[in-house]
Structure 1
Amino acid sequence: MASSENRRIADVGTLKAFAHPLRADLYRLLYLERAATASQLAERVDEAVSLVSYHLRKLAEHGLIEEAERQSEDGRERWWQPTSDGVTIRDADFRDDPQKAAAHLAATRLFHDQRADRYRRYLDERPAWTPEWNAAVIDSEFLLSLNPEELAAMKGELDAVLSKYAERGRSAAADGDTEGRENVALYTYGFPFRL
């Protein structure tokens, strides 16, 4: 990967390119696999290789992914990897214009829907997971009374904990220690609401 930092998406063109449902899925797969070909990704998302290749090129045009070193002897294969260790999309970058704000809202809703779909899939598949995995699953709701500074501080603390565990997983994978490991999705939302 070119950068160990998150790539900040701050322009509408890149946001719209990333917020396409298939492109978001392809990016997530590349993030997990670290490098893959269009053929490998097409098999995972059950789409035509030509369609996946087109969407990979669109992600590359916006600097979200790049060509990776070849992982095999087949010179015809084109390998892709993310350009960074994730993406960051901040509300503040899209508030200055109603069209930008609308694009940000649409993207946020798409990402939320994809996350909810992934969790629903887990719920449907829960009987197939071991008791150890099911016992380890996090499914909580906390209703707190905070001010904006406290919520921001909590976000920073949670980000630090998640970064620590993400690094553990990457180190284990680099050492070939994949025994008992699975991909884990963790979604946290912290937002104000009124009764």
Structure 2
Amino acid sequence: MASNESRRVSDLETLKAFGHPLRMKLYRALYIAGSATASQLADQVDEAVSLVSYHLRKLADHGLIEEAERQGGDGRERWWQPASKGLNFHEEDFSDAPEKVAVHAAVGRLSFDQHIEMYRRYLDSARSWPPEWRSAASSSEYLARLTHEELSALSREVHELIDRYEELGRAREEAGDTEGRENVAMHLYAFPFRT
């Protein structure tokens, strides 16, 4: 990754570019891999290499991914990597026009739908995972009465904790500690609601 910081996406065109189902899947797969070619990603998402290449170029056009250093193999293939540690989208950046509100909401729904699909696949295949992985997995709902300041502080602390574990895992993997390591998704949603 070029930048160790998350990128705050605040322009509508970049949000629209990211808001495509295949591009979201490709970004996620590339983020997990660290770097990959279109051919490698096409195998993961079960799409044609030409289609994957097209969508990777669209992500690159908006600075969401970038070319990476070539890693062996076919010297003609381009390697890609995320351009930042992650992406975040804030409602306030898209609240000044109805089209921006609609696109932000649509991208949020699409992301949520993909999260649900990932979790459903896990539930459907849970028995194929060893017991230690099934017991390590979790699904919880927490309900609290907080102010918006408290919710902001909680969100910040949770993100810092996850960042710490993600950095620890990457450092250990880079040092050769790959035994028993799997991709792990953690989806958190914190939002106000009224009964």
TM-score between the two structures when normalised by the length of structure 2: 0.98
Q: Percent identity?
A: 59
- Name the SS of the counterpart of 2:69 in structure 1: coil
Tell me how far 1:172 sits from its aligned partner: 1.1
Match of 1:151 in 2: 151
Match of 2:19 in 1: 19
Matched, 1:64 2:67: no
Q: How many residues align?
A: 195
Match of 1:175 in 2: 175
Q: Distance in 2 between matches of 1:73 and 1:117?
A: 33
Gaps in structure 1 of 5+ consecutive residues: none
Matches within 5 A, 1:1-195: 1-195=1-195
Tell me how far 1:100 sits from its aligned partner: 0.3
Q: Distance in 1 between matches of 2:81 and 2:145?
A: 41
Q: Distance in 2 between matches of 1:106 and 1:73?
A: 39
RMSD of Structure 2 on Structure 1 (CA): 0.7
- After superposition, the C-alpha distances for 1:161-194 in whole angstroms (9 at most, x for unaligned) are 1111011111011112111111100011111111
Q: Distance in 2 between matches of 1:173 and 1:91?
A: 35
Q: Distance in 1 between matches of 2:29 and 2:43?
A: 11
Q: What is the identity, as a one-letter code, of the residue corresponding to 1:7?
A: R
Q: Distance in 1 between matches of 2:186 and 2:73?
A: 36
Q: Distance in 2 between matches of 1:80 and 1:192?
A: 38
Q: Distance in 1 between matches of 2:43 and 2:36?
A: 11
Tell me how far 1:72 sits from its aligned partner: 0.9
Q: Compared with structure 1, are the counterparts of its residues 177 and 106 closer, same or farther at alpha carbon in structure 2 (3 Å cutoff)?
A: same
Tell me how far 1:8 sits from its aligned partner: 1.2
4+ aligned runs moved over 2 Å, structure 1: none
Tell me how far 1:73 sits from its aligned partner: 4.3
Q: What is the identity, as a one-letter code, of the residue corresponding to 1:163?
A: D
Q: What is the identity, as a one-letter code, of the residue corresponding to 2:167?
A: E
Q: Distance in 2 between matches of 1:73 and 1:112?
A: 36
Q: Distance in 1 between matches of 2:75 and 2:10?
A: 36
Q: Distance in 2 between matches of 1:131 and 1:153?
A: 35
Tell me how far 1:86 sits from its aligned partner: 0.6
